Amino acid sequence: MSDDLTIRDLRLEKLAKLRELGFDPFAVERFDTPTSIADLHKRFDDLAPAPGDDGHPSPEDIATKTISLAGRLVSLREMGKAAFANVSDGDDKIQAYFRKNDLDELQPGAWAAFKLLDIGDHVGITGYLFRTKTGEQSIYVRSLTPLSKSLHTLPLGKEKDGEQWYGLSDVDQRYRHRNLDLVAKKDARSMLLNRSRIVSAVRRFFDDRGYFEVETPMLQLEAGGAAARPFKTHYNAYDMDVKLRISLELYLKRIICGDVPKVYEIGRVFRNEGVSNRHNPEFTLLEWYEAYANLEDMMSCVEDLFKDVAQKVFGTTELHGLDFGKPWHRVDMLTAIHERSGIAPEELRDLESAKAAMKRVGLPTEKENNLGGVIEKLLEHFVEPHLQEPTFVIGYPIETSPLAKKDPNRPGFTRRFEGYVLGREVCNAFSEINDPIDQRERFEQQLGERAKGDDEAHPMDEDFLFALENGMPPTGGCGIGIDRLVMLLTGAEHLREILLFPMMRPDKPQGDDDEDED
């Protein structure tokens, strides 16, 4: 930021003066912080020396009850020859009391150094705990160690009665300078920490159940396993174009083919699509596969997962008016569509009559060119908004499910379900195709769609087919978008709230060596 050059220059001068005084903050490598600030507050009475008659503890007591802490200066109240500051370690903060006489006596130069500090600087402090006359738990500083100098004004705002005057309201700036957001905004911090806890709980869930966590290639010749446009890039060593993965599916199933019966992966996938409050071009996908397991096993696994994660992270299974401790509702897809739209299953047997029904209920039909697409559109429009409580919708059309086993009892449909909560999809699962001939036919069918102009249709993958041809056990698989799971559990309204660094355009135009296409 070239605009606050003056502030930056002033702070650089202060830094130089600190160095002259022998308090170079950037020369320090470590500072012992045996107890967190939260812990200091909790154990205040144990750690604080007893005040004597003059209100100050005895030298002996001080000697045995000196503590240290480090953190960022987040507020400063100077009063001539004494000052109060709040020091934050990110989680919690404590008030520090600086007094000229004491500092000058105990640590020559320290008071002058203190006067050169600004809000935003990191400091290490040693001293003893005491209460001010207003009763606030504080530390009486006996030694000061500057640990960093901030060259800019932090948008810390101020605080009163627990309420925050936050200086960064421009959401754009919050995401572009997430470090400032994390420093200054408690909600941002806790939302992002909760994400970390959720991911950790998910991992423990699968680890405890005997799944192996694996990592599969992100650079792939053909990006398969989902319907999406991939990012393309180039691998110089082999002079070969490669794509970034759009899903984890096909490599995880290769591992099942290798007789590792329970695997999962939590990893980033990339889809070359737009940004919205629920979309980011890179996002984190969880997929797990279990050999010899069927759809019912997958459903109870999803139920257990949500229940377990909610309990571990939030201490309750009841969130946002929902109870993840209870089994999820289960509905058949066509039945649900019939109930909500009046369109009977018989009308959805061929594209012609399905489109007629769609038209009858007032939906546009121009873009529809396969029966499965129509059926999913009807589900989305009529049923999804009503699926507030956790619900599994079972039985997806074959055209939109090129990797799911056919339902032997229902031609045109597959053994696949999706889970919905609060009207939004939260998981997608099916009995995986393990018949290599069936899988090849499905890929060929997809190639047909691709020829018709659907550039998100699944590509052929001979290598995957070869793995299937060597034998894959019957397998259940399921995928969950971690970001959306976190949104659901934390109640975040926007994906960017729970993504540390969401995709953004550069705030200044880049060099023009690239013309925009399209």
Partner RNA sequence: GAGUCGUUAGCUCAGUCGGUAGAGCAACGCCCUUUUAAGGCGUGGGUCCAGGGUUCGAGUCCCUGACGACUCACCA
Q: Which of residues 106-165 bind RNA (CB under 7 A)?
A: 118-119, 130, 132-136, 138, 152-153, 155, 157-161, 165
Applying CB under 7 A, the span of 279-287, 307-315, 333-341, 409-417 interacting with RNA comes to: 279-287
According to CB under 7 A, which one of 58, 88, 95, 216 is a site residue for RNA?
Answer: 95
According to CB under 7 A, which one of 21, 82, 191, 422 is a site residue for RNA?
Answer: 82
Binding to RNA in span 489-518, by CB under 7 A: 494-496, 504-507, 509, 518
Q: Which residue number, 291 or 433, has a Cβ lying nearer to RNA?
A: 433
Displacement of CA 489 from its chain's centroid (Å): 11
Residue 9 as a binder of RNA (CB under 7 A): the answer is no
According to CB under 7 A, which one of 298, 416, 484, 488 is a site residue for RNA?
Answer: 484
What is the full DSSP assignment across 378-392? Answer: HIIIIIGGG--S-EE
| Shortest Å distance, C-beta 408 to RNA | 25
Applying CB under 7 A, the span of 278-286, 313-321, 401-409, 467-475 interacting with RNA comes to: 278-286
* Total Cβ atoms within 10 A of residue 15: 21
Residue 1 as a binder of RNA (CB under 7 A): the answer is yes
Residue 99 as a binder of RNA (CB under 7 A): the answer is yes
Displacement of CA 204 from its chain's centroid (Å): 17
Burial category of 399 from C-beta neighbours within 10 Å (exposed 0-12, middle 13-18, buried 19 and up): buried
Residue 7 as a binder of RNA (CB under 7 A): the answer is yes
According to CB under 7 A, which one of 22, 26, 42, 81 is a site residue for RNA?
Answer: 81
Q: Which residue number, 220 or 257, has a Cβ lying nearer to RNA?
A: 220
| Shortest Å distance, C-beta 492 to RNA | 11
Applying CB under 7 A, the span of 231-239, 297-305, 316-324, 488-496 interacting with RNA comes to: 488-496
Residue 271 as a binder of RNA (CB under 7 A): the answer is yes
Please count the residues of the chain: 518
User: Which residue's entry shows tokens 């991911």?
Assistant: 199
Closest C-alpha among 370, 383, 298 to residue 334: 383
Annotate 177-207 with b (16+ C-beta within 10 A) or e (fewer). bbebbbbbbeebeebbebbebbbebbeebbe
| Shortest Å distance, C-beta 145 to RNA | 20
User: Which residue's entry shows tokens 């069927």?
Assistant: 294
Binding to RNA in span 30-49, by CB under 7 A: none
Applying CB under 7 A, the span of 221-229, 307-315, 316-324, 430-438 interacting with RNA comes to: 221-229
| Shortest Å distance, C-beta 353 to RNA | 21
Q: Locate 333 and state its tokens.
A: 């897809």
Applying CB under 7 A, the span of 42-50, 93-101, 186-194, 429-437 interacting with RNA comes to: 93-101
Residue 359 as a binder of RNA (CB under 7 A): the answer is no
Are 250 and 227 in contact by the 8 Å Cβ rule? The answer is: no
According to CB under 7 A, which one of 28, 76, 260, 319 is a site residue for RNA?
Answer: 76
* Total Cβ atoms within 10 A of residue 17: 14
Q: How far apart are CA 389 and CA 392, in angstroms?
A: 10
According to CB under 7 A, which one of 100, 178, 189, 203 is a site residue for RNA?
Answer: 100
| Shortest Å distance, C-beta 507 to RNA | 5
Residue 226 as a binder of RNA (CB under 7 A): the answer is yes
> 326: which residues sit within 8 A by CB, 6+ positions away?
390
CA distances from 483 to 14, 214, 267, 269, 310 (A): 43, 20, 11, 12, 15
Helix (H, G, I), strand (E, B) or coil at 371: helix
Are 206 and 288 in contact by the 8 Å Cβ rule? The answer is: yes
Burial category of 119 from C-beta neighbours within 10 Å (exposed 0-12, middle 13-18, buried 19 and up): middle
User: Which residue's entry shows tokens 């569509």?
Assistant: 337
| Shortest Å distance, C-beta 216 to RNA | 18
Residue 228 as a binder of RNA (CB under 7 A): the answer is yes
Q: How far apart are CA 125 and CA 122, in angstroms?
A: 10
Binding to RNA in span 422-451, by CB under 7 A: 425, 428
Binding to RNA in span 164-183, by CB under 7 A: 165, 167-173, 175
Residue 10 as a binder of RNA (CB under 7 A): the answer is yes
| Shortest Å distance, C-beta 409 to RNA | 25
Are 168 and 155 in contact by the 8 Å Cβ rule? The answer is: yes
